[in-house]
Structure 1
Amino acid sequence: MIGKIARAMTVVVNRYLPDPLIFAMLLTILMFGIGVAFTPHTPLDMVQMWGDGFWNLLAFGMQMALIIVTGHALASSSPVKRLLKDIASLAKTPTQGVMLVTFFGLVACVINWGFGLIVGAMFAREVARRVPGSDYPLLIACAYIGFMTWGGGFSGSMPLLAATPGNPVEHIAGIIPVSHTLLAGYNIFIILALIVVLPFVTRMMVPKAGRVITIDPALLQEEPDFQKKLAADASIAERMEESRIMTLIISAIGLCYLGMYFWKNGFNLTINTVNLMFLIGGLLLHKTPMAYMRAITAAARSTAGILVQFPFYAGIQLMMEHSGLGGMITQFFIDVANKDTFPIMTFFSSALINFAVPSGGGHWVIQGPFVIPAAKALGADLGKATMAIAYGEQWMNMAQPFWALPALAIAGLGVRDIMGYCVTALLFSCPIFIIGLLLF
C-alpha cells in the first residue's frame, strides 16, 4: 500500500509541483493577496513589507551556501570518501540501501541539522554508487526524510531559543528548560519512533525492478583528486599555495577557537561552528590550501538555488509576520483548542505556517508570542507547546521544498524527483507526532 501511495504522490508531484523558484514566487503572490484581503494593510503596505524583508536572510543564506560547499569539500576528501564507502558497504541490496540511508539521515539530523542534511545526501550518493539497481531519487528522498528529526534534536532551534535568556516569550513564561522539551519523555518517544519506523516506511517505497528510475551516470562519478604535484622548479608562490605548513597553522588557530568555544558554551553546535568544523576538517584532509580551494570551487556550483530563492522566503516571512497573518492563523487554531488538544492544534497551525515561513527561528518569532500565553492560560504544558511548533515545522518540511535545496544541489536532481516520496513519509509519520503529543 505504501508503495502505491508513493507512486501516486510522485505522479501528482510531477504534474503539479513547479520548480522551487516558481513555488517561492507563487507563495509570494499568495501571501500578498491574502494580506490585502484579510488584514487592514494596503497593497503598498504589503509591497513595503516584502521589500523590507527581501534581504533579511542574507547572513543565513551565506551560512547555508557555506555549509553546502564546506560539507561537499569535506566529503570529497579521500579519508571521508573511504569512510562513507565503508558504511555504505553495509547495504547489499537496494532495499537495504534505502533503509540504511533513512536511518543514517535521521540519526545525523538528531546530532545536528546542518550536518545531517549535507552528509545524508552525500551518503545517499555513495550508496547509489555501490548498490546496483538502486533508485537514486528515492535514496536522495530518504536522506531528506531524515530531516524530520531535526527540531527535536540537539540543534533544534525552538527548544534552544525557549531556553535562552532574552527570547521573545521570556517575559510571558520565563525560561523553558530543555528538560521540559528536548529531554522530555514525549520528545524521546517521537524521535525514537521516527528513527525506528521511517526506515520501514521508506522500505515499502522501493519500486520493483522494472520501475527503478535510472540516473545519468555522470551524477554518480566520484570527485577527482584535487592534489597537485609541483614541478622541481616551482615558484615560491606555487610552493606557498601547496604548502601543508600553511594549512596546519590555520587549522591550529581554528581548533584552538573551537576548543575555547566549547569550553565556555558546552557542546552547543550552531550552524557557524559546524561550518568552521567542516572548513578545518576539509583543509586538513585535503592537506594544502589550493587543493581545498579546488574542492570548494567544484562544490560552489551547487549553491545557485539557495542564492536566488532565500531572498523570496525572507520577503514572504516579513509579510507573514508584520501583516499579522501568522498570528491570525495561530489564533484560529488556539481558539478551537482546549488543554488536551492544544498541542495538536499548535502542531497543525505550525505546519500550515511552514509553507510561508520554513524556518524554525521564524516560527518562534511569529507563533511563540501567541502560543505560549495561550498555553499558560489554558494550563497546557509549556514545553510541549514549544515542541508542537517545532514538530509542525519539521513535519511539513516534507511538503515544502525549501530545505530540500541543499540535498538536491548535491544530488543533481530536481524537486519533483523526490517530493512524492517525501509527502508519503509525511502522511505515515503524522500518527507518531499525534500519539507523542497526546499520550505522553
Structure 2
Amino acid sequence: MEKQKKGKIEKLSDFFERVLPDSITIAFILMIIVIILAIALTGAPLITSTENQLSIVDSIGQNFWNLLAFSMQMCLASILGTVVAKSPPASKILGKACAVPNSVLACYLFSCILSGALSWIHWAVGWFGCIVIAKQIMVQAHNKGLKIHTPHFVATTFIICLMMGQGPSASQIAFGATPGYLKSLVDPSTASGLKDYYTIIEVACQPKAIITELLAAALMFILLYKMRPKEDAKFFDGMTKERLIDYTATPDLSADKSTLAKRLSNSAVIGVLMGGLFLVYAIKGLITKGFAGFGINEFNMILFGLCLVLCLRPRIFGELFKESVTSVWGFIVQFPIYAAIFGVMTGTGLDSVISNAFLSIASTRTWPSIAYVYSAFLDIFVPSGGSKFIIEAPYIIPITQQLNVDIKTILMSYGFGDNCTNMLTPFWWIAPCGMAKIDYHKVMPYAVVACGVSVVYFTIAMFFWV
C-alpha cells in the first residue's frame, strides 16, 4: 500500500515541532534576546547598577515576582472556568446548546460567533469560555459522526476570540475610563491636554472600532476555515479516546453520609451558602462600580460563587478543582520569566530606545498604524496588555497629541496590536492548549498565518482611521 504523504499543514506543524522548543524554553530565549538588546543598545551594566540605570541582574531580580498576584488570578480563572463547565448543571446545558450545529461548518461558526461575542464582552470570559465551548462542540460533533481536527478547531476558535478582545474590559480602555489615570502616566504638559477620562462607550463602542474588529474576525474565519485539514487525511488529528474521556469527565454525584465528615463534605447547604455570599458580593460590586470596575478579581469571585452553587457539594467542587489544576502549570512557572523580561525592558531603558525608533518615523497619517506595529512588536516581549500600556503610555500619548491624532484612535490601535502577536506568544496558548489537551506546536501553523495576515490588515485599516 502506498504511503500517504503529509499535507502542507502537517509538514508545517512538523517544522515548528523541530525548530520551536517548548513554551518555557521560548520564554527563556526571549529573555536572553532582551538582555542582549539591552546591553547593545543602552549599555546596561550586567551586575552592578548605576545611579541612572539598573543592571541586568538587578532588573531581573527586582521584577521577577511582580506578577505573582496576576499568576494566581489567571490560574484561578482557568481552573474555576473549567469547574463551572464540568459542574453537573452546566455540563447538561452546554451539552444541549453545543448539540445545535449539525455540520462541520456550523460547528465552526457556532463556536467562533459565541466565543467572539463573549470575548468582546469580557476578555477573560472569552479567553477561558471559548475553549470550554469548543470542547463541548467537539464532543457533540464526535457523537454525530462529524470529523473535526482538534488543533485546528481550537486554534480557529481562540484566534477569533483574540480578534474580538478589544471590548469594554480591554486594559487600555479600562485605564482610559478611569478618571485621572491617563494623566498620571504622562508629564504635566501632556496631561493638561487630556480629558479626565474617556468612556468605554466612546472608545470601545465607536462604530469604526466595531466594524474593524468584525471585519478582522470574518477575514480570519474565512482564512482559517480554508486551511482546515482534509477529513480523509491519514494524519487527521481528530477526537482521540484520551481527549474524549477528558472532555466528558463527570464527577461522582453519590452522597455518602455514613460519617459526620462525609456528611459535611456532601452538604449542599455549605456549598450554596458560601457560593451565594460570593455571588452577592460580586454582583454588589458590579452594581456600585459599573462595568468599568469589573476586573479579573470580580470575574473570579463570580466564577468561585458559581462553582460552589453549581457543584452543590464541597466534595464535588474539590474533586473537579484538583482535576483541572494540571492545565495551569504554565502560568505558575512562566509568569515570573515574563515579569523579568518586563523588568529588563524598563529598568535598562530599552523600552525608550525601541519606542523612540518607532516614533522618529511617525506622521499624523501614519501614526495609528505605527503605534499598532509598535504595540504588536513589544507584546512579544511583554505579553500583558495592562503592564505593557504602562510602558508605552509615557511615549505614545505625548506623540499622539503632537501629531493631533485622536487619543481614542490610539487606544484602539494599541489594543489591536496586542491581539495580533498574542497569537504567536506561548504565554497566551498555555490555557487553550492545556485545557484542550493538545500540543502547542500543533496550533502554530494556523497562528503564524493568521498573525501575518492580521498585521497587514490592521496596519492598512488604521491608516484610514485618521
TM-score bucket (shorter structure): over 0.9
Unaligned runs of 5+ in 2: 1-6, 48-54
The yes-or-no answer on 1:259 pairing with 2:283 is: yes
SS at match of 1:152: coil
Aligned twin of 1:203:
225
Identify the residue that residue 103 of structure 1 maps to in structure 2: 113
1:144 and 2:144 aligned = no
1:411 to 428, 433, 436: 436
The one of the two structures with greater contact order (alpha-carbon pairs below 8 A, sep at least 6) is 1
Structure 1 residue 300 displacement after superposition: 0.9
Change (3 A) 1:321 1:186: farther
8 Å CA contact retained: 1:354, 1:396: yes
**8 Å Cα contact 1:360-1:393 kept in structure 2:** yes
Aligned to 1:24: 27
Aligned with residue 181 of structure 2, among 166, 169, 192: 166
CA distance in 2, matches of 1:8, 1:367: 38
Which SS does the other structure have where 2:169 is aligned?
A: coil
Deviation of the 1:414 alpha carbon: 1.9
8 A contact 2:9–2:445 mirrored in 1 = yes
- Per the TM alignment, residue 12 of structure 1 is displaced from its structure 2 partner at its CA by 4.0
The aligned amino acid for 2:196 is I
- 1:344 alignment partner in structure 2: 369
Note if 1:182 corresponds to 2:208. Answer: no
Q: What is the deviation of 1:150?
A: 5.1
Partner-residue secondary structure (3-state), 2:381: coil
Counterpart of 2:89 in structure 1 is 79
| Identical positions, percent | 24
Tell me how far apart the structure 2 counterparts of residues 226 and 427 of structure 1 sit (CA, whole Å).
46
Deviation at 1:127, TM superposition (A): 1.9
Rounded Cα–Cα distance in structure 1 between residues aligned with 2:104 and 2:419: 27
Q: Which residue of 1 aligns with 2:73?
A: 63
Q: Please state if 1:229 is matched with 2:255.
A: yes
**1:103 touches 1:199 (CA, 8 Å); kept in 2?**
no
Separation of aligned partners in 2, 1:259 and 1:104: 23
- What does the per-residue CA deviation read over 1:281-339, in whole Å, with 9 as the maximum and x for residues that have no partner? 11111111111111111111111111111110010011112212122212211110100
More displaced 10-residue stretch of structure 1: 162-171 or 30-39: 162-171
TM-score, with length taken from structure 2 = 0.88
Give the distance between the partners of 2:449 and 2:8, measured in 1 at CA. 7
Against the structure 1 CA distance between its residues 17 and 419, is the aligned structure 2 distance closer, same or farther, given a 3 Å change threshold? same
Which residue of the partner structure matches residue 250 of structure 1? 274
Unmatched tracts of structure 1, length 5 or more: none
- How far apart in 1 are the matches of 2:447 and 2:224? 9
SS in 2 for 1:331: helix
The TM-score, its normalising length taken from structure 1, stands at 0.93
Residues 1:375 and 2:400 are matched in the alignment: yes
The 3-state SS of whatever aligns with 1:339 is coil
User: Are 1:191 and 2:213 counterparts?
Assistant: yes
Q: Which amino acid aligns with 1:235?
A: T
1:179 Cα deviation from its structure 2 partner: 4.2
- Check conservation: 1:189, 1:436, Cα contact below 8 A: no
Query: Number of matched residues?
Result: 435
User: What is the CA–CA distance in structure 2 between the aligned matches of 1:354 and 1:138, rounded to whole Å?
Assistant: 24
SS of 1:22's partner is: helix
In structure 2, do the counterparts of structure 1 residues 72 and 226 end up closer, same or farther at CA, with 3 Å as the change threshold? farther
RMSD: 2.0
Query: Of 365, 388, 412, which residue of structure 2 is paired with 1:363?
Result: 388
Which deviations, in whole Å up to 9, do the C-alpha atoms of 1:84-138 show, x marking residues without a partner? 2223223223333233322232222111111111111121112222223110001
TM-fit CA distance, 1:431: 4.5
Question: Post-superposition shift, 1:6?
Answer: 5.6
Contact 1:54 1:311 in 2 (8 A): yes
